[in-house]
Amino acid sequence: MVVAGLGHEYRRDDGVGPLVAARAAGLTEAAHDVGPLADPLDLLGRWDGASLAIVVDAVRSGAPPGTIRLVELEPGATAVGGNSPTTSTHGIGLAGVFRLARAVGQAPARVVVVGIEGEDFGRGPGLSPAVEAAVPGAVRRVADLIKGAGSCA
């Protein structure tokens, strides 16, 4: 089981993914934190063959900042969350990387994205208050997934 945080700590709320992933993975030895990763493509080679890959990422979908959303990637998914490929803060879509991994037989059995709605993607360290407040809840959701108690909304 692997956990990966995507994002950049010097781009405000974009840094929430690595922060949550590191905290959640630190609570258990059942999952290995393979991040922080700057780009979804970096998942290739790091999540190969995992029974479950949990990817934590900031998202921008129009929901209130700090909203936590769990999405299990379907094999044929073209975007995360059913919106445009730019729902993720990353130009190379996570869904695309999953498709790529499947095409070359290196995909994890399951991929669950824990998305945290971001508000400020400007330059600088530190999260906006709403996203900061969502961190403990996001860590719990990831920890629940690791324990097998989580469910995908």
Partner 1 sequence: MTHGSSSPRTIGVEGLSRVEGEGSLRVVVHDGQVTDVALEIFEPPRYFEAMLVGRHFTEAPDITARICGICPVAYQMSACAAMEDACGVTVDADVTSLRRLLYCGEWIQSHALHVYFLHAPDFLGYADAVELAEHDRATVERGLAIKRTGNLLMETIGGRAVHPVNVRVGGFYSAPDPAAVAALADPLRRAREDALATVEWVSGLEFPDVTGDYRFVALTEPGRYAVEGGRPSSSDGLNVSPGEFARLVVEEHVERSTALHARLGGHDEYLTGPLARYALNSSVLSPLAAEAAAAAGLGPVCTNPFQSIVVRAVELVFACDEALSLVDAYEPPDPPAAEMIPRAGTGTGATEAPRGLLFHHYEIDEEGTILNARIVPPTSQNQITIEADLRRVAQDGLDLSDDDLQWRCEQAVRNHDPCISCAAHFLDVNVVRD
Write the DSSP string, 75-96: TT-SSGGGS-GGGBSSSS-HHH
| Nearer CB in complex with partner 1: 101/143 | 101
Q: Count of residues binding partner 1 (CB under 8 A)?
A: 31
Q: Which residues in 111-140 contact partner 1 (CB under 8 A)?
A: 121, 123-124
Q: Which residues in 19-38 contact partner 1 (CB under 8 A)?
A: 35-38
Which residues are within 8 A (CB) of 46 and not within 5 positions of it... i.e. 6 or more apart? 2, 4, 34, 37
Report the nearest approach of partner 1 to the CB of residue 105 (Å): 8
Which of 95, 12, 110, 135 lies closest to 143, judged by CA? 135
Structure tokens, 149: 């108690």
Q: Is 89 a binder of partner 1 (CB under 8 A)?
A: yes
Q: Which of 27, 100, 130, 135 binds partner 1 (CB under 8 A)?
A: 100
